[in-house]
């Protein structure tokens, strides 16, 4: 924890926190808690801003994530994992990939985007995928029946399923929901040595992101990925190069996922109310004289 | 059956009657029985392995293809094939098209068993099937989920179909009073069933409304629910024709002689119905295609594959149905029915698997074991269907033997 980073966090959360924080650890902890509390109070989701121009590909975020969630811990210095583009998996909830772009090498962290109105939660028949009030999208093992419709629906292909387990779970980044409850920061944010990750509410982070673009108009493309994509996500990305060059899809549209099925779902009660009387009426109209109302032989 | 029916007044003899009915009728070691029996037994072993070791042990499902053959074929296609039941009950009980009455029972039985086995195969695919009761008992309702809606409709529709079929069971067990009561419920459950069917047949299409970024534009449309609903009509009709063709050969002795005369008439009527709905389907599909401005895709391999589905396995059988109906050619209609069924399989697999993730390097080809378990499901359904038809008054409305 250095002072520069601490102030960055404080700015992202609340100024009050910065003033009241004397020991660095406590201040950090409070910052996370304050942002979460503010999120609840203002009905603002917590969010994380990724500045890909700052990422050096050290993969400390991967290490921290694995340690906190009890996953196999990668060894960035030795495993050479940056050689190929990796996807997140049941054991790796976040991965950093290297992209060669017009402006040189760019490292991009990938994990669940924590959509504002997530496809996975809209798809889930048991509410096992839940968009919490605070913002993180989490999974409830006691509700999930393993239908994997969340995986079908997710535009970012994030939920991963344990195919080789008789008691399989859906695994993905949960934005360290439990740590947030304890007032701590997400593990990856805490671990990042270059301030590539900033934690705060989405509103605050949008301001920070816009400010960075405004102050350095030549360093960034003038687009904040996640502001509107798939209806808006709680992970936001800044980039020096067009997002398609660093592995993002720009064809997802800005509609929220519940919008795709809203009309169909609205029609359901109408059909339920309308069809039976219509069918009964048809049946009466087409009945021949002398026939009973029971509709004949089973 | 007649002798046991006489002593049915005593409770004990009901069990003896049932025990007797459980015994196989006819030769046991036929080639069909041996082959299908082997597949079913092997399938049970595979099913045990699947639950013991996890889905990955027997399937080729992966993170990019969470839904494979068991959903794409068993559920998506199986439910479309089972659509005949709601079409025929609608025609007979709501529209009073008495002509189709002789095929109601077989169609409803087939529909019911299809739901039990094909939609039931869903439980094999669920990773955590012990939580399947969650969306039913209200342990967190996902009201805004299409799958929640579809799951509930499956359940309610299975109950409706069971009630629709129940008078036949009552007749078989010679429970005259129960039969009369159950019969009175028929119109009500038919209306309920038709309403449910129109919602969940379209709901299966609505499941893929979320697939916009993943499904090939030639297949993705916001009208997927409409296309699924219309195609379930001619899928169901084609299945009735196909199943009827086989039943008339296999169960010739169980068929009421008087229904033989009307049977051809029924098939011609069905062919006309299939052709009309297929014209509507093709028209809607054409409008969607033009509106979506997808001409450029036609030159790609996906375009060619799309045309195979739409022209060869929808337009051509539609023309065959039309011609077969006009010229009264039963054979041509049967060919059309089989081609239509192939077209439905292609369509459902395209939407759920083949054209899904077309822009993703990942791929999925079902494993041999997935196909095996699917065959197990199909053959078990056929075994149960055969068992029921050989014992209950399904193909003939009122078998003389069991009536007083």
Q: What is the pLDDT of residue A37?
A: 57
CATH of the domain at B163: 1.20.1630.10
Cβ atoms A46, A201 nearer than 8 A? yes
Length of chain B in terms of residues written: 404
A297 lies in some domain: no
Inter-residue long-range contacts of A214-219, CB under 8 Å, 24+ positions, other chains counted: A219/A53
CA torsion A66→A97→A90→A93, rounded to 10°? 50
Domains in chain B, number:
1
Pair (A37, A52) in one structural domain = yes
In terms of CA atoms, which chain A residue is nearest residue B165?
A298
Q: CB of A138 within 8 Å of any CB in chain B?
A: no
Domain CATH number, residue A36: 3.30.70.20
A7 in B contact zone (CB under 8 Å): no
pLDDT at A298 over 80: no
Strand, coil or helix: what is A147? coil
Distance of CA A234 to the CA centre of its chain: 6
Q: Retrieve residue A142's tokens.
A: 């006691």
pLDDT at B331: 94
- Contact B142/A127, CB-based, under 8 Å? yes
Residue A296 belongs to a domain: no
Quote the domain boundaries for residue A186: 3-117+173-255
Q: Cα–Cα distance between A126 and B375 in angstroms, integer?
A: 30
Taking one residue from A and the other from B, the number of pairs with CB-CB distance under 8 angstroms is: 200
ipTM exceeding 0.95, yes/no = no
Nearest CB to B213: which of A151, A155, A164? Answer: A155
Residue A266 near chain B (CB below 8 Å): no
List pLDDT tens digits, range A229-263: 999 999 999 999 999 999 999 999 999 999 999 99
Residues 194-253 of A with CB under 8 A from B: 249, 251-253
Same domain, A271 and A164: no
Residue B103 lies in a domain: yes
Q: Does A272 touch chain B (CB under 8 A)?
A: yes
Q: Are residues A145 and A109 in the same domain?
A: no
Question: What is the domain extent for residue B383?
Answer: 31-396
> DSSP class of residue A244?
G
Nearest residue to A236 (alpha-carbon basis) of A80, A71, A104, A109: A109
Q: What's the total number of domains in chain A?
A: 3
Whether pTM exceeds 0.80: yes
Whether A19 has a pLDDT exceeding 50, the answer reads: no
Mean pLDDT of residues grouped by 10 in chain B (404 residues)?
47 74 81 94 95 94 95 94 95 92 92 90 91 75 84 91 92 88 91 94 95 94 96 97 90 73 88 97 95 90 96 97 94 96 97 92 93 96 92 70 38
Q: Check if A99 contacts B (Cβ < 8 Å).
A: no
Put simply, the chain B residues between 67 and 96 with a CB less than 8 A from any chain A CB are 67, 90, 92-96
Contact B74, B122 (CB under 8 A): yes
Q: Is the pLDDT of residue A46 over 90?
A: yes
Please tell me which residue, B13 or A26, carries the higher pLDDT value. Answer: B13
Identify all chain A residues contacting B70, using CB atoms and an 8 Å cutoff.
Answer: none
Residue A183's pLDDT is: 92
Query: Does some domain include residue B128?
Result: yes
**Does A167 map to a domain?**
yes
Chain B stretch 121-160, residues whose beta carbon is closer than 8 A to a beta carbon of chain A: 122, 125-129, 131-132, 134-135, 139-142, 144-149, 151
Beta-carbon count within 10 A of A40 CB: 15
Say what the pLDDT of residue B43 is: 95
CB contact under 8 A, A279 and B194: yes
In a domain, A80, yes or no: yes
Q: H-helix or E-strand containing A105?
A: strand A104-110
- Which residues on B lie below 8 Å from A147 (Cβ)? 122, 125-127, 147
Burial A96-122 (b: 16+ CB within 10 A, else e): bbbbeeeeeebbbbbbbbbbbbbbbbb
End-to-end CA distance of chain B: 12
Contacts of B124 (CB under 8 A, 6+ apart): B47, B50, B70, B373
pLDDT band at A290 (very low <50, low <70, confident <90, very high): low
3-state helix, strand, coil in chain B (%, to 5): 75, 0, 25
Q: Does A158 share its domain with A183?
A: no
The answer on A156 and A48 residing in a single domain is: no
Give tens-digit pLDDT for A57-80: 999 999 999 999 999 999 998 888
Q: Are residues A243 and A112 in the same domain?
A: yes
Q: Looking at the complex, does the CB of residue A2 fall below 8 Å from at least one CB of chain B?
A: no
> Considering only alpha carbons, which residue of chain B is nearest residue A87?
B63
Given an 8 Å threshold on Cβ–Cβ distance, is B96 in contact with A291?
yes
- For residue A45, CA distances in Å to A37, A131, A233 come to 10, 10, 10
pLDDT at residue A227 tops 80: yes
A57 lies in the same domain as A127: no
């Amino acid at each position: 924890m250095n002072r520069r980073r601490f102030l960055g966090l404080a700015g992202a959360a609340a100024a009050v926190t910065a003033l009241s924080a004397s020991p660095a650890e406590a201040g950090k902890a409070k910052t996370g808690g304050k942002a979460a509390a503010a999120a609840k109070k203002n009905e603002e989701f917590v969010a994380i801003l990724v500045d890909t121009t700052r990422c050096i590909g050290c993969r400390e975020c991967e290490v921290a994530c694995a340690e906190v969630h009890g996953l196999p811990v990668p060894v960035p210095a030795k495993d050479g994992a940056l050689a190929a583009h990796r996807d997140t998996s049941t054991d790796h909830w976040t991965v950093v990939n290297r992209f060669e772009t017009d402006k040189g090498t760019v490292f991009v962290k990938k994990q669940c985007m924590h959509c504002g109105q997530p496809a996975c939660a809209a798809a889930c028949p048991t509410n096992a995928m839940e968009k919490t009030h605070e913002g993180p999208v989490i999974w409830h093992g006691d509700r999930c029946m393993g239908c994997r419709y969340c995986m079908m629906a997710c535009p970012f292909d994030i939920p991963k399923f344990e195919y080789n387990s008789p008691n399989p779970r859906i695994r993905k980044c949960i934005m360290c929901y439990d740590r947030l409850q304890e007032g701590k920061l997400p593990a990856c944010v805490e671990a990042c040595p270059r301030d590539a990750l900033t934690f705060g509410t989405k509103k605050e982070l949008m301001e920070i992101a816009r400010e960075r673009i405004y102050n350095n108009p030549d360093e960034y493309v003038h687009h904040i990925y996640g502001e509107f994509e798939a209806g808006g996500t709680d992970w936001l990305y800044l980039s020096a190069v067009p997002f398609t060059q660093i592995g993002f899809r720009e064809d997802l549209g800005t509609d929220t996922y519940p919008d795709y099925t809203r009309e169909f779902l609205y029609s359901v009660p109408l059909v339920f109310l309308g069809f039976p009387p219509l069918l009964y009426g048809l049946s009466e109209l087409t009945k021949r004289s002398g026939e009973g109302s029971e509709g004949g032989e089973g | 059956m007649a002798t046991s029916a006489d002593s049915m007044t005593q409770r004990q003899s009901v069990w003896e009657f049932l025990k007797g009915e459980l015994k196989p009728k006819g030769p046991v070691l036929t080639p069909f029985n041996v082959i299908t029996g082997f597949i079913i037994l092997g399938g049970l072993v595979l099913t045990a392995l699947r639950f013991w070791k996890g889905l990955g042990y027997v399937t080729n499902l992966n993170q990019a293809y969470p839904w494979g053959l068991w959903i794409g074929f068993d559920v998506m296609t199986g439910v479309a094939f089972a659509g005949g039941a709601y079409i025929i009950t609608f025609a007979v009980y709501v529209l009073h098209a008495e002509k189709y009455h002789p095929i109601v029972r077989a169609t409803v039985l087939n529909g019911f068993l299809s739901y039990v086995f094909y939609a039931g195969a869903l439980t094999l695919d669920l990773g955590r099937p012990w939580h399947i009761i969650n969306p039913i008992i209200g342990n967190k309702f996902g009201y805004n989920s299409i799958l929640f809606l579809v799951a509930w409709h499956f359940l309610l529709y299975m109950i409706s179909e069971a009630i629709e079929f129940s008078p036949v069971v009552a007749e078989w067990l010679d429970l005259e009073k129960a039969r009369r009561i159950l019969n009175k419920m028929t119109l009500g459950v038919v209306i309920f069933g038709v309403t449910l069917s129109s919602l969940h047949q379209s709901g299966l299409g609505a499941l893929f409304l979320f697939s916009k970024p993943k499904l090939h534009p030639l297949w993705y449309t916001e009208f997927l629910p409409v296309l699924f609903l219309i195609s379930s009509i001619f899928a169901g009709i084609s299945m009735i024709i196909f199943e009827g063709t086989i039943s008339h050969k296999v169960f010739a002795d169980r068929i009421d002689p008087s229904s033989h005369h009307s049977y051809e008439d029924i098939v011609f009527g069905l062919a006309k119905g299939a052709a009309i709905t297929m014209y509507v389907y093709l028209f809607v599909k054409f409008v969607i295609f033009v509106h979506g401005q997808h001409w450029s895709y036609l030159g790609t391999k996906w375009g060619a594959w799309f045309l195979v589905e739409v022209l060869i396995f929808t337009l051509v059988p539609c023309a065959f149905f039309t011609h077969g109906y006009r010229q009264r050619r039963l054979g041509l209609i049967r060919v059309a029915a089989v081609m239509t069924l192939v077209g439905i399989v292609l369509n459902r697999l395209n939407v759920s698997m083949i054209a899904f993730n077309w822009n993703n390097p990942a791929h999925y080809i079902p494993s041999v074991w997935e196909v095996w378990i699917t065959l197990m499901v199909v053959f078990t359904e056929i075994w149960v269907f055969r068992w029921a038809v050989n014992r209950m008054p399904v193909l003939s409305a009122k078998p003389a033997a069991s009536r007083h």
